Structure 1
Amino acid sequence: MTTRRSLFALVASSLLLGACATAPQGADQPPIVFAHGNGDSASIWQSTVWRFESNGWPRERLHAIDLPYPLARDDNSKAQPGRTSTDDHMAYLKAEVDKVLKATGAKQVVLVANSRGGNAVRNYIQNGGGDKTVSHAVLGGTPNHGVWATKGFREGNEFSGTGPFLTALNAPKNAAGDEVTGPVKWMTIRSDNNDKFAQPDGLWIGAKGTPTNVTFEGPALKGATNAVLPRVDHRETSFSPAAFETTYRFITGRAPTTLVPTPQAPVVLNGKITGLGLVPTDPATGNYANNLPLPGAQLMVYATDPATGERKGAAVHSKTVGADGLWGPFTAQAGVPHEFVISAPGYATTHIYRSPFPRSSELIHLRAERIAAADKDAKSTVTFTRPRGYFDAQRDKMAFDSKALPGVPPAGAGVSSSKIKVMEDGVRAIPAEFNGEKIVGRTWPAAENRLVVLELTY
């Protein structure tokens, strides 16, 4: 039985400990399978994979799954086009684990999950045979006791703490009342108070002032090692340097040598171009999320000037993607930012600006977008997005077009993107900065059915 204990991990102490650590080598490095959260994709693990690689983990032993339909059903028991049930999710994870075991020859894997991915991990280990194929399970920000826990309120949803799915997972497994299934070694990672889905008030689920009956401790599980990270947001429970350090130490028993991805040359990039499906991620925008490839989409890549966002010459890569949706491989210029331009029938021409890539990756997934109906009056629309975390006005140093980020509240970390509707004509530079990472894009005309995304890596 794993005893429950609390860890309080700080990045500063992690760096001190990491200075004298040595990464495990060779066969001691088990395959790791990463499971993303609700509405996300494998690309969200990009920087985490870099950190493992930078600490000596073989790239072929790091596998991020890409659930084709990543959104949960409104009611888990009722079929819903473009969404997955908990059984669907578990079956996909099980199949991916089987592939990794076969490819590596390993007997067991480590599962590392964020948010909803942890539901699939728990279901697989408890009900799908994963107790035999998994050695360690790490759950970052998983709402193990629900996003809400109110009798009679949306109990068919898998995120209901009083619903049948979580009630069954949390049922005591032994006389000690442990909520985790042995002999797997379990860790949960949670925020002390800044996770939007572990809040006593219903603000972030559209019910401000209504108790959720869930506390900041909601992601913790009896029988697991339960780590607490100060001030991290929901996604940072998995994707922050502190979360990586905590995860690495739990798997290996030692600190990593570095928390920063080390530079690599050459930098070879690849990924999948996806589109928008049937089920709205946000009905207000009209945009829809899935992880299916978008065959026929065209991609052009340009090196850009870091100060102005202007293109430095002709395209450095171009491709019309096939059935697999893969847009690479592409060898990027080290230390140079790039603009990725996606064109596809039924979509806006999507200009995605990224800061320089320090290492190679096959997880640079790109999504074609559509202009929202509410933005039709703008001369240009520019979205500043942080896929691996949220914006916190009290914690982060950030600016968008040299101003505060529109739509980001003065307190709390509940928003991961900010949009500016540019109302003047012409194309100009538009900068964005977050805790030292800076991206400069251009305000392409919406009248030409173009939109702009400035996407953070960290």
Structure 2
Amino acid sequence: MTSRRLFLAFAAALLAACATAPAPQAVPPIVFVHGHGDQASQWQSTIWRFESNGWPRERLHAIEMPYPLARDDDLKEQPGRSSTGEHMAYLKSEVEKVMARTGAPKVVLFASSRGGNAVRDYIQNGGGERTVSHAILGGTPNHGVWAVTIDGLPDSSEFAGHGPFLTALNKPKNAAGDEVSGPVKWMTIRSDSNDKFAQPDGLWVGKRGVATGVTPASPELKGAKNVVIPRIDHRETAFSPQAFAAAYEFITGKAPQTTAPVPENTVVLRGRVTGLGVSSTDPASGNSQNNLPVPGAKLEMFVIDPILGERKGAAVYSKQVGADGTWGPFTAQPDARYEFAVTAPGYATLHVYRSPFPRSSDIVNLRLRRIADVDKNAPSIVILDRPRGFLDPVRDKMAFDGQTPPPGAVMGAGVASSTIKPTGIPRAVVAEFNGERVVGRSWPAAENHVSVLELTY
């Protein structure tokens, strides 16, 4: 605890002297827009970084699209999926709420992947040219994930570079051929070669050996500031410390004082419990992502032993969520490790283990899961999940339950999770990734339990 107090004192002094920390009313609100199938919670560490550089918490807002998955064909209805038009309309509504709440004349939009499609559509077609000062697109497939006709991939997908949606967005706006709409200031962030959705080969869209017609430079836009960061992966184009630093400097004109979250003395957590729909391509799976609340779900939180992952006594927090799925507030111990245990009819009992929380957060969101039929007879199911990046055994140092690399992790940063099925009695399971260490426990799958060791960074 002494070392923590010393660090907090140092951090406070550092921020007090920081010339880059903006005055609270001098900064625009930032609206964060997640990607395909994702959640608002993926912006958690990015929000912490903005706060740690003086951005007021009340001017940082991460939206959560109810149906975050794009339609396979944007022109055809698809249950549980959203069209480009629906996506843009939701973003517009959220921006208007933020502007009404803050009284700000304009906002910054910071998007990951598919979220950038909605940002571009809103600015070009929804009035956003009047309400947005800066637009930052991390890994958005601005010229498509594929840009030629490929058997089995719809030409009218919003991810088709030659399809109607992106063709209209990319139409030159002036004599210089700019693809961006003014007077908004635009920036794209891309990987040099490591983005799974900006590849000349169709491996990551299930078409190995087929030319996609795109290149690693496809996320760039003519007329924007285009930033290239070596070796980052698709998610890291928005959620990495490097992406944050580029975004902060683009907005403020100055480099951030720190790219690491500065710990707070008091940490208060809130979030939502969300569920799953039924996949239109695999109805039996029941694991299609959505961000709809699960009314009646019960959350319990336990302090756990940092070595064994075992619960240290009774629940320190318990809540049966209401119609909106929200839980909290809960005042956390800054150095404690917690197990989040969530139960709801029709779902597996979910046990989520994470590193200690350095700062408060309103988006500690928990998405329930179901055990797939293929895993019904597994002794236990433990998942290593990295929501803000991928697992690249060539680039990253990692281990999962002593296995290096974790099962399923492949070169090229295209996989974000790894699953193991430990045998025997419940026991500790450890995940390590580039210095972060998460400890959890296995639970019997036969009793409908699933464990998730979730990386924060």
Task: Name the SS for the 1:276 alignment partner.
Answer: strand
Q: Is the 8 A contact 2:377 2:446 kept in 1?
A: no
Q: Distance in 1 between matches of 2:433 and 2:282?
A: 24
Q: Which residue of 2 aligns with 1:406?
A: 407
Equivalences for residues 26-425 of structure 1 within 5 A: 26-151=24-149, 153-279=153-279, 286-404=286-404, 405-409=406-410, 411-422=411-422, 424-425=423-424
1-side partners of 2:224 and 2:399: how far apart?
39
Q: CA offset at residue 280 of structure 1?
A: 5.5
SS in 2 for 1:204: helix
SS at match of 1:73: coil
The structural deviation recorded for 1:65 is 0.5
Q: Distance in 1 between matches of 2:223 and 2:265?
A: 43
Matched with 1:12 is none
**In the aligned structure 1, how far is the partner of 2:453 from the partner of 2:282?**
19
How many residue pairs match? The answer is 438
Equivalence for 1:15: none
RMSD of aligned alpha carbons: 1.3
Shift of 1:265: 2.1
Structure 2, unaligned runs of 5 or more: 1-16
Contact 1:30 1:109 in 2 (8 A): yes
Which moved further from structure 2: 374-383 or 176-185?
374-383
Q: How has the CA–CA distance of structure 1 residues 447 and 268 changed in structure 2, closer, same or farther, with 3 Å as cutoff? A: same
The structural deviation recorded for 1:372 is 1.2
- Rounded to whole Å, the distance in 1 between the matches of 2:280 and 2:329 is 31
SS of 2:129 mapped into structure 1? helix
Question: In 2, distance between residues paired with 1:61 and 1:183?
Answer: 22
Structure 1: unaligned runs, 5 residues or longer: 1-18
Select the structure with the greater relative contact order (CA < 8 A; seq sep ≥ 6). 1
CA distance in 2, matches of 1:256, 1:91: 33
Moved more, 283-292 or 200-209: 283-292
Write the distance in 2 (CA, Å) between the matches of 1:351 and 1:295. Answer: 18
Q: CA deviation at 1:21?
A: 5.0
Offset, 1:170: 0.2
Paired residues of 2:115 and 2:140 also in contact (CA < 8 A) = yes
- 1:370-428 per-position Cα deviation (integer Å, ceiling 9, x unaligned): 1111112211000000000000110101000011200111x200000000012x22111
Deviation of 1:336 after TM superposition, in Å, equals: 1.1
For residues 260 and 174 of structure 1, the distance between their equivalents in structure 2, rounded to whole angstroms, comes to 40
| 1:204-253 CA distance string (max 9 Å, x none) | 11111111100000000000000000100000000000000000000000
Q: Which letter does structure 2 place at the counterpart of 1:394?
A: V
Identity of matched residues, %: 67
TM-score normalized by the length of structure 2: 0.94
CA contact (8 A) 2:78 2:280 kept: no
Cα distance in 2 for residues equivalent to 1:368 and 1:284: 17
Q: Give the ranges of 4+ consecutive aligned residues of structure 1 lying more than 6 Å apart after TM superposition.
A: 281-284
* Cα distance in structure 2, aligned partners of 1:105 and 1:301: 37
